[in-house]
Amino acid sequence: MNLSDEMNIIKRGTSEIILLEELEQKLINAKKTKTPLRVKQGFDPSSPDIHLGHTVGLRKLRHFQDLGHEVYFLIGDFTGMIGDPSGRSATRKQLTLEEVQKNAETYKEQVFKILDPEKTIVVFNSHWLGKLSFVEVIKLCATYTVAQMLEREDFANRLREKRPIGIHEFLYPLMQGYDSTVLRADVELGGTDQKFNLLVGRDLQREYHQEPQVIITMPLIEGTDGVEKMSKSLGNYIGINENPFDMYGKVMSVPDKLLLTYFELLTDTPYPELAKIEQELKKDTVSPLIIKKRLAKEIVKIYHGYHEANEAEEHFQKVIQEGKAPENIQDLPISKQILKDNKIWVVELIKLTKQLKSTGEILRNIEQGGIRINDQKILEKNVDVDIKEGDILRIGKLNFYRIKID
């Protein structure tokens, strides 16, 4: 493959490459010396789920793997205890070591739905950051000034608005940059909100007499609400471990304006086909619903397989579009011992499904009319519902449970 073809693959869906000519030279040198580039991206395990927003960078890492380069999937188990302040208007709540380690384990399982395990080196930055002495931390801090830190927009905004900035937050970009020096990264990927941190990596590599890494920033995709960045905390995310039916249904809830973005960043649909889809949407020759179904099926196929994608499509057609209950409904066993006169508090009933994990999330679904028993909406949060064998509990549009009393 020639340099032009490689660059076309790498540039797909990127926001910015700093610097483009440096990347081209690195690719030329890698081919000459038969030495793969060291490509890095870090992920702080702040929650247990990897969602489609994370996969924008992961898919780019896979492109580098397919081109023969070495990928470092960095789990920020040390930096995760601080929390990346990028784009934040307030200090993040710090996670405990136990929370971070638990989340990190799930990342290791999920990431190989995208990356090639044979070509991926998984590293944890606690292995080196946790060993730095206080003297070494002071030396690291001496490489940057407060004025340089305040060039970062979110820090500058918080200072201007008299919002507190923790000293530990200034350390975050330095630690991320230090990761690049330890790994001697040739390329580092990150979201557009990571640009400052990525540039710190370039600066620190110069301080450590290394050739500075090339930076590739990737777009931040909006979630299912079409407004905010995809985030678990905002409830607008699509997790890559979600079951095929839920994944398909969530993609179908994405606003039409995001269709092309999702196709480009979340699938391998060739550019000629993307151009055709864009024209069809512009000229209104094809319904956006048809395009969205194609997108949903493609995304489910990537993470679950072709057969599951077909089943998810059929399920959506029958349950959502035709309003029918699915043929195969999951049983929900309920012990007689927890019932009082065949009644149970609706919140406790829903918790038994493990579909909605927090009481707050359950109450929101009740208020929004998302809970039904035998197709009757439950609108009271404090009600004890009367249940019997064979009753159908429905949560949202896609999740059905048949009551089985033990």
Give the per-residue pLDDT at 89.
42
Q: For the chain, 406 residues long, give each residue's pLDDT as a single digit of tens.
A: 899 999 999 999 999 999 999 999 999 999 999 999 999 999 887 777 889 999 999 999 999 999 999 999 998 888 877 766 655 444 445 667 777 777 777 787 788 999 999 899 999 999 999 999 999 999 999 999 888 888 888 888 888 888 888 888 889 899 999 999 999 999 999 999 999 999 999 999 999 999 999 999 999 999 998 889 998 777 789 999 888 988 998 999 899 999 999 999 999 999 999 999 999 888 888 888 999 999 999 999 999 999 999 999 988 888 777 766 666 678 888 888 888 888 888 888 888 888 876 888 888 888 888 888 887 888 887 888 888 888 888 887 778 888 888 7
From the candidate CATH numbers 1.10.240.10, 3.20.20.120, 3.40.50.1000, 3.30.70.20, the one assigned to the domain spanning 244-321: 1.10.240.10
On the question of a common fold for 244-321 and 330-405, the answer reads no
- Cis omega (within 30 of 0) for bond into 19: yes
pLDDT of residue 395: 85
**CATH topology classification for 3-218:** Rossmann fold (3.40.50)
Give the pLDDT confidence score for residue 90 in this predicted structure: 47
Beta strand spans in 47-198 (E): 70-75, 120-124, 187-191
Q: Report the alpha-carbon distance of residue 270 to residue 274 in Å, rounded.
A: 6
Query: Going edge to edge, which strands form the sheet with 38-43?
Result: 16-18, 214-218, 187-191, 38-43, 70-75, 120-124
The Cα 333–Cα 330 span in angstroms is 10
What gap in Å lies between CA 303 and CA 296, rounded to an integer? 11
Q: Where are the domains of the chain?
A: 3-218, 244-321, 330-405
CATH fold for domain 330-405? 3.10.290
User: What's the pTM value of the predicted model, to 2 decimals?
Assistant: 0.78
User: So what's the pLDDT on residue 14?
Assistant: 95
